[in-house]
Amino acid sequence: MALNALGRHIALVGYMGAGKTTLGAQLAARLDRPFYDVDREVEEAHGAIWDLFAERGEEAFRAIEADFVRDVCHRTSPAVVAVGGGAVETRGLLRETGALCVFLDVDVDTAWQRVQGSPRPLAAEETEFRNRFERRAPLYREVADAVAHDLDGVTLAAAGIHHELGALDRLGELVPGDGPLALVADSTVMGIHGPRAQEALGDRIESIHELPPGEEAKQLRVVEHLWSELTLDRGGTLVALGGGSVTDTAGFAAATYLRGVPWVAVPTTLVGQVDAGIGGKTGIDVPQGKNLAGAFHWPSRVVIDEALLETLSERERRQGLAELVKTRLLAGTDLDVRAAAAYKAALCLRDPHDRGVRQWLNLGHTFAHALEAAAGFDLPHGDAVALGLVAALRLSGRDPSLLDELDPQPVAVDRDRAWEALLRDKKRTGGAINLVLLGDDGPVVEPRPSDVVRAALDTLIR
């Protein structure tokens, strides 16, 4: 089974005091899902857990708890369910529900600090609390599909994303299953990080494939060549190691080869780690335009190892910084790579097919695409996004100096050509153009009059 929560419940397990109730509610709000706290629901239906324990014993309580977990998982659309600290002992139950199981890990001192003095029957005595913690910890790990410590951690886990410095060396354990693997990277990345990836994947590697570096990879002939080289059967997995060009192309090959084989994304650029590697959009360019042929095909896992960024050129880092700054603006707060990845992951889980909130990620991109097209695609995407963000901020009534770190510089392109490209990208409705902008309470999609949009575009051109 895939290691993400698309269309599945998320069961949070962990010891008393791990924060299942608090984080569960926050995760549910982030993913726009219902939240069920099993302990609380049991108390509402049967009275205080303390009394249940005293009157009917722990076993009876566990049976009620298990019934409730089953009931909630069969009854509702994908939800977040905080499962009582002991339900994990009924391991089959969690498998039966089909839920993605995330272990919320906590150290025992923190857990004790949080629960001591609370009216929980199993938190009455410290030594017993600590002993029980030791007994349960391995059980939680055994049932869990992923381990997390905080809200971003559970969000990443829900999207099947593993973030760890040095994770490349553990790739063999992180690629789900035990079938054969096809490793795909562009020639530059293969030269730099390929040997370590190969060592980590070991004997499971069945074939190795090199793509041309950069956007050159995103061509039908490159995909055709890959199809012809691949020998995997459906039990195999394609591992894509590289930037967005590699994950888009290899992900598309995985979506189409044998009508779909699983794939794992290992993004090696900043663009890839905060954006392209996440959310399952794969695709290639066609003569009529960028990304016009593709498929939604979620990677069965995404492995983010920020150490891989150390070999990235300053130019490529800049491209990623523009997307990172965009995500910070959307979130309304400062974000590092991990938090930005979690932000995108949450939007993609809410809207996997890009019909609603995921479109927020296009902040500034309407203008960026227009400038890129007018420049004959000779303008780096990140530089175009930086300019697009200037226009989006102005139209949102915000100060574009928020973007000083990107140092956006107006470009010399033909104004009419840029405007025509923008109109091709965005249909006008009643003389207005819908844009992603920043409202008082976060991102919004709002119409702006065509002449106002054109004036905003013109300010980006010298």
- How does DSSP assign 140-188, residue by residue? HHHH-SEEESSHHHHHHHHTTEEE-TTGGGGHHHHSSSSS-EEEEEEHH
Residue closer to ligand NAD (CB basis): 24 or 352: 352
Nearest approach in angstroms of CB 241 to ligand NAD is 9
User: Is residue 388 a contact residue for ligand NAD (CB under 6 A)?
Assistant: no
User: Is residue 391 a contact residue for ligand NAD (CB under 6 A)?
Assistant: no
User: Is residue 84 a contact residue for ligand NAD (CB under 6 A)?
Assistant: no
Question: Considering only 24-32, 107-115, 272-280, 449-457, which stretch makes contact with ligand NAD by CB under 6 A?
Answer: 272-280
Q: Which of 244, 352, 364, 443 binds ligand NAD (CB under 6 A)?
A: 244
Question: Considering only 134-142, 213-221, 229-237, 366-374, which stretch makes contact with ligand NAD by CB under 6 A?
Answer: 213-221
Q: What strands lie across the sheet with 432-439, from one edge to the other?
A: 428-429, 432-439, 442-449
Residue 248 φ then ψ, to 5°? -65, -45
User: Is residue 358 a contact residue for ligand NAD (CB under 6 A)?
Assistant: no
Q: Which of 37, 39, 65, 186 binds ligand NAD (CB under 6 A)?
A: 186
CA distances from 301 to 189, 267, 268, 307 (A): 19, 11, 15, 18
Distance between CA atoms of residues 462 and 448, nearest Å: 23
Q: Which two tokens stand for residue 212?
A: 């041309």
User: Is residue 372 a contact residue for ligand NAD (CB under 6 A)?
Assistant: no
Q: Which of 3, 189, 302, 349 binds ligand NAD (CB under 6 A)?
A: 189
Question: Considering only 16-24, 311-319, 422-430, 447-455, which stretch makes contact with ligand NAD by CB under 6 A?
Answer: 311-319
Size of the site for ligand NAD (CB under 6 A): 29
Distance between CA atoms of residues 360 and 385, nearest Å: 14
Closest CA to 352 of 32, 12, 19, 104: 32
Residue closer to ligand NAD (CB basis): 166 or 235: 166
CA distances from 293 to 163, 218, 266, 311, 448 (A): 29, 10, 22, 31, 30
User: Is residue 215 a contact residue for ligand NAD (CB under 6 A)?
Assistant: yes
Q: Which of 143, 211, 308, 363 binds ligand NAD (CB under 6 A)?
A: 308
User: Is residue 268 a contact residue for ligand NAD (CB under 6 A)?
Assistant: yes
User: Is residue 205 a contact residue for ligand NAD (CB under 6 A)?
Assistant: no
> Rg (Cα) of the chain, in Å, rounded?
24
Distance between CA atoms of residues 381 and 360, nearest Å: 17
Q: Which of 113, 311, 333, 409 binds ligand NAD (CB under 6 A)?
A: 311
Question: Considering only 6-14, 134-142, 263-271, 437-445, which stretch makes contact with ligand NAD by CB under 6 A?
Answer: 263-271
Q: Residue 194 in 3-state DSSP?
A: helix
Q: What's the CA angle centered on 185, arms 179 and 189, to 5 degrees?
A: 135
Residue closer to ligand NAD (CB basis): 276 or 435: 276
User: Is residue 312 a contact residue for ligand NAD (CB under 6 A)?
Assistant: yes
User: Is residue 242 a contact residue for ligand NAD (CB under 6 A)?
Assistant: yes
Q: Which two tokens stand for residue 193?
A: 């990080």
Contact 27, 117 (CB under 8 A): no
Distance between CA atoms of residues 120 and 132, nearest Å: 14
Closest CA to 193 of 279, 137, 267, 133: 267
Q: Which of 291, 359, 434, 450 binds ligand NAD (CB under 6 A)?
A: 291
User: Is residue 191 a contact residue for ligand NAD (CB under 6 A)?
Assistant: no
Q: Return the residue matching tokens 């390929």.
A: 194
Q: Which of 319, 327, 362, 366 binds ligand NAD (CB under 6 A)?
A: 319
Nearest approach in angstroms of CB 325 to ligand NAD is 14
User: Is residue 245 a contact residue for ligand NAD (CB under 6 A)?
Assistant: yes
Length of the chain: 462
Distance between CA atoms of residues 388 and 372, nearest Å: 10
Q: Give the footprint of ligand NAD on this chain (CB under 6 A).
A: 186, 188-189, 192, 213-215, 218, 242-246, 248, 268-269, 271-272, 275-276, 279, 281, 290-291, 308, 311-312, 316, 319
